[in-house]
Every structure is written in C-alpha cells, then in structure tokens.
C-alpha cells in the first residue's frame, strides 16, 4: 500500500489555530485542515490558501485547506482543538469555562465521528478542565486525549532563566507541574542549565521572581495585547507536541494527563511530566516531591477541581 502523508486537523482558525497551522506546515509534519464555524468559512479558507502559497518558499510539500465542514477532517492522525473564546484583561482563564465547555462538546462529537482513531490535543482554556471534558465526550482512551499547558509554561520559565543568565535557551531545562493557572508549580529542584542546578547559578530571590513571572506569564501577554491572549509560544508548543506524536519521538514533556492514582490523585486531568510518542501519552513520570512541593501541587489540583465543578454533568 502506498504511504500517504499524515493529516493534522486544527479546530479553530483564530490566533492560535492559524499560527499552529503555519508552524506545522512549515515543519512538513503533514497535510493541515483548518476548521472554523460556518460564519468564518471564507476567512478560514483565505488563511489556509495564504499559508499554502508560502509552501514553495519553505520547500514544504504539504497541503493546507480551510473549511467549516468536518467531513474534510476525516481520517486525521492528530486533531488540535483551539476553538473557543480567549480571555481579555481583567479575566481569569476560569471565566471561560461555561462557554468553552459547550464548544468542546460539539467539536468533540464531530472529531470523533470523522477521526475515530486520532490523537486529540486540547489547547482551549481553562485547559485542564477542557481536556477532561473532551476526554469524557470522546470516549477515547486516556492516552489519546492530551492537554497543552506545561510545554508553554516551561518554555516561559526557560526563557526568563536564559535571559537572566545570558545563557542559551537550549541548555535550560526545567518543568512546570500542576494546572494551567496562577498556582502552577515550577519545579526548581529539577531545573538546571547544562546539568548545573539552578540554585548554583541564581539567588533565591531571583528564582522566586522568575517563578512568579512564569505563573503570571499568560496574564502578562493578555495585558500587553489588550484584546486576546498569547499565540506564538502556544502554537510552538502545540507543534512540538504534534511532532512528538507523529514522529514517535518519545519526548519527555509536561502535558495535561489523566491521573488515575499517580501523585495520589484520581479522575483529574492536570499537568505532569509524561512520555509523548506515537501512542500519545505513553507514560506518566512520577517524581518524588518534597512536602512543600506536594502542598503547592495540591493547591493547584484543588483549583483545577473547583473549575471542573462548573462542567456540565450530562
Ligand atoms: N492552554 C494554553 O496554553 C493556551 C494558550 C493560548 C490560548 N489558549 C486558549 O485557546 C483558545 C483559543 O485562543 P485564540 O487566541 O486562538 O482565540 P481566537 O479568538 O483567536 O480564536 C478562536 C477561534 O475559535 C473559533 N470557534 C469558536 N467556536 C467554534 C466552534 N464551535 N467550532 C470551530 N471553531 C470555533 C472562533 O471562530 C475563532 O476563530 C482560548 O480559549 C485561549 O484561552 C490556551
Ligand atoms: O493566558 C491565557 O489566557 C492564554 C494562555 O493560557 C497563556 O498562558 O498564554
């Protein structure tokens, strides 16, 4: 049988969806189908055509199409959900839960109908609760429903550390545990630059300031943009996760995963270190946490649980 290109569908053609479409196409990860509501069909087609016309310059042999018809997503390998509303200055991500939960329900039904074997990556906020909603609605196994928060939050953390120390972003390692909210937990003990512990390179005061800036990183961009939220770094994060799955890279990345006893929690999607590869979330990595880290993680988990209570129960 002939080998065909991979297919990536992106639901929502707004800032994050369109930017992710461009990045995945430029990396030649597969053909891209960009989907939005019928009222947005022409602009969605226009964005897709504009991207397609960049592929000769990029040397990328992929197709990019725009549509409002889910039939066009049929047989997708990866479906990325960015559909929904974004917050504005003064709002928290949790304020989006009611509107976006309804959108998750309807888009998930369409995704499952046309791509029953796909891997779903959820970006829409509040991301932990929305990933749980998509998991429930899809009926998919937990490894095939993955949320995005930790790659972005860690990328912000790494950026701030690299800039502060004037060292390469490539050498900064670290990750952020917990929900995608202001009480996420950047783990200092597991952070290093080229293997050198962060605490050897930076004072505790500076580390604390960077942790705080990371926690509020989304809000910082919301304030600056004035009418919408971040999209370049979120799209880069989605692209890295998509690549990890489609190329079976078995990357160790923080993702929003379903906990079933790991870290002492049940039936909740929240950010933890995972192995992301050809079978989606292939493993959750359980770290030994100190009492302080456990307490911070518990606070973050509680915040996610309280948002989940707003999800429709049907
Ligand atoms: N988890 C994260 O790290 C993270 C990062 C960035 C953004 N986000 C979230 O992602 C979401 C999208 O952000 P954005 O900046 O792209 O917003 P945006 O407003 O630019 O785009 C959203 C798009 O979704 C479309 N849409 C709405 N309902 C739809 C439906 N039923 N079917 C298909 N499309 C639909 C809209 O028409 C719009 O084009 C927001 O909820 C935002 O908070 C999360
Ligand atoms: O902050 C937001 O509302 C968008 C996103 O979750 C982010 O962290 O940039």
List pLDDT tens digits, range 172-186. Answer: 999 899 999 999 999
237 lines ligand 2 (CB under 6 A): no
Mutate to test the pocket of ligand 2, among 155, 183, 230 (most ligand atoms within 8 A of CB): 230
Prediction pTM value: 0.98
Report, in this order, helix, strand and coil percent for the chain, each rounded to 5.
Answer: 50, 20, 30
**Distance of alpha carbon 115 from alpha carbon 123, whole angstroms:** 18
Q: Whose CA is nearest to atom 3 of ligand 1?
A: 149
Residue 1's pLDDT is: 87
pLDDT of 313 > 80? The answer is: no
Strands 196-197, 192-193: pairing is antiparallel
**Are the C-beta atoms of residues 256 and 280 closer than 8 Å to each other?**
no
- pLDDT band at 314; cut points 50, 70, 90: low
Q: Which two tokens stand for residue 157?
A: 């953390």
- CA–centroid distance, residue 5 to ligand 2 (Å): 32
- 180 catalytic, yes or no? yes
Q: What is the ipTM of this complex?
A: 0.99
**Distance of alpha carbon 145 from alpha carbon 241, whole angstroms:** 12
Q: Which two tokens stand for residue 197?
A: 């512990």
pLDDT tens for 226-282 read 999 999 999 999 999 999 999 999 999 999 999 999 999 999 999 999 999 999 999
**Distance of alpha carbon 271 from alpha carbon 297, whole angstroms:** 10
Atom number in ligand 2 closest to CA 127:
6
pLDDT tens for 6-46 read 999 999 999 999 999 999 999 999 999 999 999 999 999 99
Are domains 7-148 and 150-310 of this chain identical in fold? Answer: no
222 lines ligand 2 (CB under 6 A): yes
pLDDT of 108 > 90? The answer is: yes
Domain 150-310 fold is L-2-Hydroxyisocaproate Dehydrogenase; Chain A, domain 2 (3.90.110)
Atom number in ligand 2 closest to CA 229:
4
Q: Whose CA is nearest to atom 15 of ligand 1?
A: 15
- Of the candidate CATH numbers 3.90.650.10, 3.30.70.270, 3.40.50.720, 3.40.50.140, the domain formed by 7-148 belongs to 3.40.50.720
Per-domain boundaries in the chain: 7-148, 150-310
Q: Whose CA is nearest to atom 2 of ligand 2?
A: 218
**Distance of alpha carbon 150 from alpha carbon 23, whole angstroms:** 19
pLDDT above 90 coverage of the chain, percent: 97
For the segment 85-96, the average pLDDT, to the nearest whole number, is: 94
- Write phi, then psi, for 228 (nearest 5 degrees): 140, 180
At a CB cut-off of 8 Å and minimum separation 6, what does 285 contact? Answer: 252, 272, 273, 274, 275
- CA–centroid distance, residue 189 to ligand 1 (Å): 34
- The annotation places the binding site for substrate at 87, 93, 125, 156
Q: Whose CA is nearest to atom 1 of ligand 2?
A: 218
Catalytic-labelled residue, pool 180, 211, 259, 272: 180
Q: What is the mean pLDDT of the chain?
A: 97
């Amino acid at each position: 049988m002939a080998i065909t290109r991979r297919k990536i569908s992106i639901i929502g053609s707004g800032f994050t969806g369109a930017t992710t479409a461009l990045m995945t196409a430029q990396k030649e990860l597969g053909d891209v189908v960009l989907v939005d509501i019928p009222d947005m069909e022409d602009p969605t087609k226009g964005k897709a055509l504009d991207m397609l016309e960049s592929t000769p310059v990029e040397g990328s042999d992929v197709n990019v199409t725009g549509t409002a018809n889910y039939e066009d997503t049929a047989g997708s390998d990866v479906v990325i959900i960015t559909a929904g509303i974004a917050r504005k200055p003064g709002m928290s991500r949790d304020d989006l839960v009611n509107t976006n939960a309804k959108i998750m329900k309807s888009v998930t039904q369409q995704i499952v109908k046309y791509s029953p074997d796909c891997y779903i990556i959820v970006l829409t906020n509040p991301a932990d609760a929305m990933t749980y909603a998509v998991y429930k609605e899809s009926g998919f196994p937990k490894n095939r429903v993955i949320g995005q928060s930790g790659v972005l939050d860690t990328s912000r953390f790494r950026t701030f550390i690299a800039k502060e120390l004037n060292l390469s972003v490539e050498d900064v390692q670290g990750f952020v545990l917990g929900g995608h909210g202001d009480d996420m937990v950047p783990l200092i003990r597991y952070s290093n630059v080229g293997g050198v512990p962060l605490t050897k390179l930076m004072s505790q005061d500076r580390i604390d300031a960077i942790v705080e800036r990371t926690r509020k990183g989304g809000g910082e961009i919301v304030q600056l943009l004035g009418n919408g939220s971040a999209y370049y770094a979120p799209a880069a994060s989605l692209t890295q996760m998509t690549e990890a799955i489609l190329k079976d890279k078995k990357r160790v990345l923080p993702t929003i995963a379903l906990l079933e006893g790991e870290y002492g929690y049940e039936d909740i999607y929240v950010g933890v270190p995972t192995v992301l590869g050809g079978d989606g979330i292939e493993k959750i990595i359980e770290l030994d946490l100190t009492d302080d880290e456990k307490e911070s993680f518990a606070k973050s988990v509680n915040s996610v649980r309280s948002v989940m209570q707003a999800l429709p129960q049907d």
